[in-house]
Amino acid sequence: KAGVTQTPRYLIKTRGQQVTLSCSPISGHRSVSWYQQTPGQGLQFLFEYFSETQRNKGNFPGRFSGRQFSNSRSEMNVSTLELGDSALYLCASSGQGGGEQYFGPGTRLTVT
Amino acid sequence: AQTVTQSQPEMSVQEAETVTLSCTYDTSESDYYLFWYKQPPSRQMILVIRQEAYKQQNATENRFSVNFQKAAKSFSLKISDSQLGDAAMYFCAYLRYGGSQGNLIFGKGTKLSVKP
């Protein structure tokens, strides 16, 4: 089985712009979670989607949003980018049972 | 709220020797999962090992094993016969059991160096 894929791998944006990141889960996995990783804050949960519904959300401002499509692929969007949004954004998918989440390679977002 | 603490920011081990990484957690739940993830410098997060809280037997995956002490809320990772490829950040993580499992709660990580 192919692993979790994320596109793009690297992104440079300017403050005030918006960005969309994409994640394709492992085939058959219906749950997709997003995490932000920074040196200062570590790994922080953004949101989780299951069957096109957001069922869990972390403590991030409304500028961070996401969605999931019928094929389980997910996108996250960050509007009005701030310098502090520079981070590695990780997507993880999980199947039924087991609990373990499998991570993609991440998207490195740099905001200048 | 659940928390995960890794008290060793950095550890070092000689190749072929054994090293133990510590993790403690806090929860009021009785059923949950615990994981160790490895993140090499290339940044891909890899699942190393998992433990279900209801299982008393410690999980083992080849050279990796855990010491799960539920009453003490401790979950350490032992790496035997350390190899250069084991050098990475190691994250301990907690996941609620069942239903909308939601998010992994991570510790701050331990950076493991392996000396040849």
Q: Is residue A56 over pLDDT 90?
A: no
A85 inside 8 A of chain B by CB: no
A36 inside 8 A of chain B by CB: no
**Percent of chain A whose predicted confidence (pLDDT) is above 70:** 96
Q: Which of 45-74 (B) contact A at CB < 8 A?
A: 45-47, 50, 52
From the list A55, A92, A104, the residue facing B100 with the nearest CB is A55
Q: Which residues of B touch A103 (CB under 8 A)?
A: 37, 44-46
Pair of tokens at residue B61: 């995956």
Dist. CA A65–CA A48, nearest whole Å: 11
Give chain A's largest Cα–Cα span. Answer: 41
What is the pLDDT, as a whole number, of residue A52?
93
Q: Is residue B27 over pLDDT 70?
A: yes
In tens, the pLDDT along A88-98 reads 999 999 886 65
Average pLDDT over residues A91-106: 86
Which chain B residue has its CA at the smallest distance from A46's CA? B103
- Mean pLDDT of all residues belonging to chain A: 93
Dist. CA A33–CA A36, nearest whole Å: 10
In tens, the pLDDT along B74-111 reads 999 999 999 999 999 999 999 987 655 568 899 999 99
Q: Is residue A102 over pLDDT 80?
A: yes
Q: Is residue B2 over pLDDT 90?
A: no
Average pLDDT over residues A68-83: 97
Backbone torsions φ then ψ of B83, nearest 5 degrees: -120, 160
What is the pLDDT, as a whole number, of residue B6?
97
A25 inside 8 A of chain B by CB: no
Question: How would you write chain A as a 3-class SS string?
Answer: CCCCEEECCEEEECCCCCEEEEEECCCCCCEEEEEEEECCCEEEEEEEEECCEEEEECCCCCCEEEEECCCCCEEEEECCCCHHHCEEEEEEEECCCCCCCEECCCEEEEEC
**A35-44, A81-90, A97-106, B14-23 — which is least confidently predicted?**
A97-106
Contact (CB<8Å) A99/B37: no
Residue of B42, B90, B103, B105 to mutate when probing chain A, most A C-beta within 10 A: B103
Q: Which residue has the tokens 């709220």?
A: B1
Backbone torsions φ then ψ of A84, nearest 5 degrees: -70, -5
**Percent of chain B whose predicted confidence (pLDDT) is above 70:** 96
What is the pLDDT, as a whole number, of residue B93?
96
Contact (CB<8Å) B104/A33: yes
Q: B9 CB contacts (<8 Å, ≥6 apart)?
A: B108, B109, B110, B111
More confident residue, A49 or B1: A49
Do the Cβ atoms of A22 and B88 come closer than 8 Å?
A: no
What is the pLDDT, as a whole number, of residue B4?
96
